[in-house]
Amino acid sequence: MDFFQQYFIDPVMQGTGYNIYNTLAYALILILAVFATYKLLKKMKISIDDRFVIGVLPYVILGGLLRALEDANSYGFWLKTPIIYMVIFAVAFAALLASKIIETVAKKPRLSYDKIWASIGVVLILAALTQVSVKSPFALGAMVALSAFWVILLILAKKLTERFTKIKFFSRENTSILAVHLFDATTTFVALTYFPYFEQHVLPSFLINIFGPAVMFVLKFVVVAAVLHVLDKEMSKELQKKKFIKLVVLILGLAPGLRNFFRLIMGV
């Protein structure tokens, strides 16, 4: 019990960051959750396509936003990491079920489940945004400017590789995922460079202590690009599974990035 308290409970309640033990445990839980969720969606006959991605994205945004609001207002245990992931999953899944039921009953193309599902998420986001106030224009400007720089660079890389090489890595979805993770790296860089924050994750913290916050850009690009390359190469015939895993990779960058973004602009 002392071990569990020290390495699992205290880091959540006190916000002291991650350690090797809870990092490995959370990684294992994530893998099992991803596998179970994929099987469940297949059983529900829900395709992992662009409609599904559009439907789920508002809940990813909601998760990052609520986590930042918890930092600002201390709403309680249920909005702390990693518990908030389970809470958002429950909310998103309940909304998905309701959306599928409405789609089945209505039988109208304009009331497809993805539109209903996304709309519910957007309403929840708008409600949460009423609690957000911008107290650090500098943080907002720095993150937007730096993120725009990376987006432009990725678009340029996509155009150049398509025109002058046979490299097909910079697809729309790969470019979007890389942009999201560079956004996450941007929020970390701004937080550690200009504000009194610290990196909570084990490996990034180790590298930042050696090379500085800018190493996050290299780490994110190299690791995420390698993962995407392997997925494209090894799962070229398993499109549904590949798209779902890529969605998970996107979520792992977007959710913490948005938490950092909202936290910084609120001056928490």
Q: What pLDDT shows up at residue 221? A: 97
pLDDT tens track for 187-219: 999 999 999 998 888 889 999 999 999 999 999
Q: What pLDDT shows up at residue 17? A: 72
Do 152 and 252 belong together in one domain?
Answer: yes
Q: What pLDDT shows up at residue 106? A: 84
Which of 98, 132, 166 is at the close of a domain?
A: 132
Q: What pLDDT shows up at residue 1? A: 66
Task: Note the pTM of the prediction, 2 decimals.
Answer: 0.92
Do 147 and 263 belong together in one domain?
Answer: yes
pLDDT tens track for 56-86: 999 999 999 999 999 888 777 788 888 899 9
Give the amino acid at 43.
K
Transcribe the chain into DSSP letters.
-HHHIIIIIHHHHHT----HHHHHHHHHHHHHHHHHHHHHHHHTT---SHHHHHHHHHHHHHHHHHHHHHHHH---GGGSTTHHHHHHHHHHHHHHHHHHHHHHHH--GGG-HHHHHHHHHHHHHHHHHTT-----HHHHHHHHHHHHHHHHHHHHHHHHHHHHS------HHHHHHHHHHHHHHHHHHHHHHHSS----SHHHHHHHHHH-TTHHHHHHHHHHHHHHHHHHHH-TT-HHHHHHHHHHHHHHHHHHHHHHHHHHHTT-
What is the number of structural domains in the chain?
3
Positions of the chain with pLDDT under 70: 1
Domain membership of residue 139 as a residue range: 135-268
Which of 75, 107, 132 is at the close of a domain?
A: 132
Do 54 and 28 belong together in one domain?
Answer: no
Do 91 and 212 belong together in one domain?
Answer: no
